[in-house]
Amino acid sequence: MTINKEIQDKTMTLKLAGRLDTTTSPELEEELKASLDGIEDLRMDFSELEYISSAGLRILLAAQKTMNKQGTMSITGVNDTIMEIFEITGFSDILTIK
């Protein structure tokens, strides 16, 4: 998986590509832990993300909880496979998916 990070002022955009699963999610967790401070608008671009596992969902949930306290978080470009996972797990209810 690759993570492309762009920070402008208080807006951070993370563009993910590949698979977000048990082996790759610690990478995203580190990235968020390191740079989420002071961010008020977190945008995640999933247009090149192929798959997300429960380990990846856990990271999204943690990020969503953090952003609930300091601003907003939104996800764009979700493909059908991932959308189905979001729906099955009920994540579609708590995430802002555009």
Does residue 37 bind other proteins (CB under 8 A)? no
DSSP assignment of 51-85: EE-HHHHHHHHHHHHHHHHHSEEEEE---HHHHHH
The minimum distance between CB 71 and other proteins, in angstroms, equals 18
Select the residue interacting with other proteins from 61, 76, 96, 97 (CB under 8 A): 61
- Neighbouring C-beta atoms of residue 52, cutoff 10 Å: 24
Q: What are phi and psi of 10, to 5 degrees?
A: -105, 15
Select the residue interacting with other proteins from 17, 36, 62, 83 (CB under 8 A): 62
Does residue 53 bind other proteins (CB under 8 A)? yes
Select the residue interacting with other proteins from 21, 27, 31, 41 (CB under 8 A): 21
Q: Which two tokens stand for residue 97?
A: 């998916």
Does residue 16 bind other proteins (CB under 8 A)? no
